[in-house]
Amino acid sequence: MVQGFLVQSRRASFTVWYSEGNPEVGGDFLIYGDTREIETYVALVPTQFGTGSIAIPAAPTSFSGTGSPIAAGIQSLTTLIPLQQTAVNTGGTTITFTATQMFIEEVTTEVLIAATGGTSLSIGLVTTSPGSPSSSFVAVTPNGPNTHILNAQLIAQQTPVGARVTYTRPGTSGFNWGSAPGTLVAGGGDWVGINMPLVTNALTPLPTAAWLSAIASGTYTNGLIKVRVRYTLYGNINV
């Protein structure tokens, strides 16, 4: 039997489902207009939601595509983000859209339990590569691996409880809401605040969506954060 409980958001709600004792810790949120929003918890140490449920393993310190989803850093199997299927429209004197463009507006991390012991956290995008006798997980290209959404966010930004950092550009571009105005912090992912490039994986057909893959650096001894990704699909959305 599948059981679940409801997690409330400022805009809507999503259900964290348990299937055979396994918690699902991410989901899409209702948000009006063109912007979409997904959220997921990232466990920096094994984390158990509910008595008797199976603990979520900590984010791994290296990526493995031939093992379990958690070995590939995937925290939530139901939380996916669309990928770009066509070349980026760079405009001109007249701009014509014949296809849809994907744009990641903003990535925010929020500290629920302060981190200790580790060094940094990166989050990239992962898809599957068909194979025999079984498929494997592979990082989405170009860029990455494991740096599309967060690129080595330091543990200093993962403490104290309530700390919030928002990235709207790649690189050293984040704003820590607890710091002085104008103070920027590192960790902005490769694809934050840009038109997502055309996926270049040697897969046919090209993947249409990807999971978030969290990879830790160093050995964390505590910590739980929430990651929120806001994105827009624009252009000719009927194609």
The domain segmentation of the chain, as residue ranges, is 2-235
| Percent of the chain topping pLDDT 90 | 69
Joined tokens for residue 96 = 């014509």
The single-letter DSSP state of residue 125 is E
Rounded mean pLDDT, 158-181: 94
Mean pLDDT is lowest, of 4-18, 38-52, 92-106, for 4-18
CB 120 within 8 Å of CB 217: yes
DSSP string, 25-92: -EEEE--SSSEEEEEEEEESS-B--STTSPPBPPPPSS--SSS-TGGGTBS-TT-EEE---S------
Q: What is the bridge-based pairing of β-strands 136-139 and 150-154?
A: unpaired
Joined tokens for residue 161 = 């409880």
Residue 94 has pLDDT above 70, yes or no: yes
The single-letter DSSP state of residue 229 is E
Q: What does each C-alpha distance from 174 to 109, 136, 179, 207, 225 come to in angstroms?
A: 10, 33, 11, 29, 16
Residue 20 confidence (pLDDT): 45
What is the rounded distance in angstroms from the CA atom of residue 19 to the CA atom of residue 22? Answer: 5
Residue 21 has pLDDT above 50, yes or no: no
Residue 12 has pLDDT above 50, yes or no: no
Per DSSP, which regions of the chain are E strands? Answer: 2-8, 13-19, 22-23, 26-29, 35-43, 80-82, 100-129, 136-139, 150-154, 164-167, 174-176, 184-185, 209-235
The overall pTM is greater than 0.85: yes
Residue 5 has pLDDT above 60, yes or no: no
Task: Report residue 1's pLDDT band, with 50, 70 and 90 as the boundaries.
Answer: very low
* Closest to 150 measured CA to CA, from 180, 113, 123: 123
What is the rounded distance in angstroms from the CA atom of residue 40 to the CA atom of residue 25? Answer: 6
Residue 141 has pLDDT above 60, yes or no: yes
* Closest to 73 measured CA to CA, from 136, 142, 155, 146: 146
Q: What are phi and psi of 117, to 5 degrees?
A: 90, -30
| Percent of the chain topping pLDDT 70 | 86
CB 49 within 8 Å of CB 15: no
What is the rounded distance in angstroms from the CA atom of residue 24 to the CA atom of residue 16? Answer: 5
Task: Report residue 238's pLDDT band, with 50, 70 and 90 as the boundaries.
Answer: low
Average pLDDT, the chain: 87
Residue 126 confidence (pLDDT): 96
